[in-house]
Amino acid sequence: MRKTVKKNIKRYKFFFILLVVSFALMVYDFKLGMDSFRLTGVNMLEMLSILPPVFILLGLLDVWVDKALMIKLTGKGSGIKGAVIAFLLGSLAAGPLYAAFPIAGVMLKKESKFSNVIIFIGAWSTTKVPMLMFEASSMGLKFMLLRFLLNLPVIVLIALITEKALSEDEKQVIYENAEKMN
């Protein structure tokens, strides 16, 4: 029992720190502290509305997509095809960036090439189709195309640099941590 409490306190230490800071903020300026709590509540409700569907999709991805198929499509030998698939997965996704990380974890767990996982995250964060449509309608097609075309090589460059910068041992640790995900 005592170990579990200590483990949970350690796991949620940032939450507890933020809670203490929010209470201190309330003592300093009550309205500001209440605004902080209100904003935190709104953000938590937003996360709770997004995360369950993401975790359902994660479970389906984990169960339905065979590891051998994932390796074939996005693994070490997938080449440009794997990068394109990772890019499309990220671009066609919907939701905030924090929803991409559990999916990236499943991709790592199923032995997708590390650079393809980075491409997936980069595409999710910068080239999602709904965001592109919004940009085209509000800032013009020219702006949207220019930003999109500038993002493409940057995403690939970041993925390649990251892949090369990490040693095989470091990447192995990342894959092992992904394997431990529940």
- How many structural domains comprise the chain? 2
Does any domain span residue 56? no
Note whether 121 and 101 are within 8 A (CB): yes
90 and 29 both lie in a single domain = no
Could you give the angle at the alpha carbon of 130 between the alpha carbons of 125 and 133, nearest 5°? Answer: 115
Q: How much is the pLDDT for 179? A: 86
Does any domain span residue 39? yes
119 and 174 both lie in a single domain = yes
pLDDT confidence of 1, banded at 50, 70, 90?
low
3-state secondary structure of 106: helix
87 and 172 both lie in a single domain = yes
139 and 113 both lie in a single domain = yes
One-letter amino acid for residue 90 of the chain: G
Which domain does 39 fall in, by range? 1-51
168 and 86 both lie in a single domain = yes
42 and 87 both lie in a single domain = no
137 and 95 both lie in a single domain = yes
Tell me the pLDDT tens digit for each residue of 38-48.
888 888 888 77
Whether the pTM exceeds 0.85: the reply is: no
Q: How much is the pLDDT for 29? A: 86
75 and 162 both lie in a single domain = yes
Q: Looking up tokens 């990772």, which residue turns up?
A: 86
CA–CA dist 43, 124 (Å, integer):
20
Note whether 48 and 56 are within 8 A (CB): no
